[in-house]
Amino acid sequence: MTNIHAPRVIRCSLRLGGIAAALLLCGCSGGGNRAASNTPPASSVPPPAPAVQNPSPLSAPALVGGTVPVQSTPWSFDGGQGSNLRTAYFSIYTTETDPVMVERLPRFLEAALDRYSTAAGMMKLPMPRQKMETFVMANRPQWQALTVRILGSSARPLTYIERGGFTTGGRSFLYNIGQSDTFAIASHEGWHQFTQITFAEQMPIWLEEGMATLMEGHRWSGQGVLFLPWGNPERYNGLCAAASKRTLLSLEDILTQSPQSLMNRPGNSNEPAVAYYAQVWSLVHFLREGEGGRYRPGLEKLLSDAASGVLSGAVREKFGPRAGMLAQRSGALVFETYFTSVSDAQAQYTKFLGMLTSGQAKGAVAAGTSPVSN
């Protein structure tokens, strides 16, 4: 049996006001208006992306690669010399000088966007109509200085992040924490960028973060990136640890709690937040593949409705006018609008978790393949 090795770091996200930040130990992301700054804006609108006719099967790894046209011009920040790398959909500002990182960044981000726009193989979502700005600084001091310049007095909580980054107003701010971890954070935060720019309505936290964790698993293969939604040992190990300690959250808690509220409980332990992110990862997998794929159409409809701006209307139609106003805050109402009652789903989700945390599922997850037998 293949072993899943313990992760070097644990990724989770916190929401600080309107900002979504990603950290290793924790990560976050958030909405809000575009922050004013003296950093150069991206001006050109990318061309339309080719339509995806046949997204990859959910259980099949998706290899995305090939040549990505890149325009590079010099860029610097506080004496750190770097470059502005412009692709069809991204404007990347970086002071990183590692040639491998600089060469791979544009290809990775464009490949990740392909996964976002097909909701990891499920459906077609709208592409951004503006370039997505991503800042990747060479080190933490540069990143801290940039954070202060961008956010001013609001920056202080974020500057304490030891390993990670954040997203606000459709822009991500990261720094080099090692190639694999940097790309995993970039892919997670890239989902937040994507939804902030293209979605007309915010999704409930459980789904926003669940989809972001789904994007993290990846592996380089030749000149392409192999995206593996199941290939995420950090989330899987977090799930197994919570199961072994009998600290798994109920479905209702997942749908109604925020990760920071869990971290603020007595004892100041990160374990509840780690379990939360592992469980939203597993919950999205459950909605994609569990119960014979029963809930996948509802998941696709939910994503589509949030993108087009009719999510609140759907909740309002089912639960009344006041419920529509609470749609983005009450994840349970959204869940019951698109799937089934929380009480009915709890037993099904518990069974799904039991299958995932059994010894038989470990080998499939280690290989990045689905352990689900439909």
Per-residue pLDDT of the chain (374 residues; tens, 9 = 90+): 333 222 333 344 445 445 565 554 444 555 443 333 334 333 333 333 333 333 445 555 555 556 789 999 999 998 889 999 999 999 999 999 999 999 999 999 999 999 999 988 888 999 999 999 999 999 999 999 999 999 998 888 888 877 888 999 999 999 999 999 999 999 999 999 999 999 999 999 999 999 999 999 999 987 788 999 999 999 999 999 999 999 999 999 999 887 777 765 555 467 788 889 999 999 999 999 999 999 999 999 999 999 999 999 999 898 887 765 665 566 899 999 999 999 999 999 999 999 999 878 899 998 999 999 64
Sheet strands side by side (includes 218-221): 62-64, 224-227, 218-221
Distance (Å, whole) CA 355 – CA 364: 12
Matching residue, tokens 């490949």: 111
The residue ranges of every structural domain in the chain are 11-35+63-227, 233-366
pTM: 0.85
Cα angle 239, 244, 247 (rounded to 5 degrees) comes to 70
For residues 287 and 219, give the distance between their C-alpha atoms in angstroms, rounded to a whole number.
Answer: 24
Q: What angle do CA 282, 283, 287 make, to 5 degrees?
A: 120
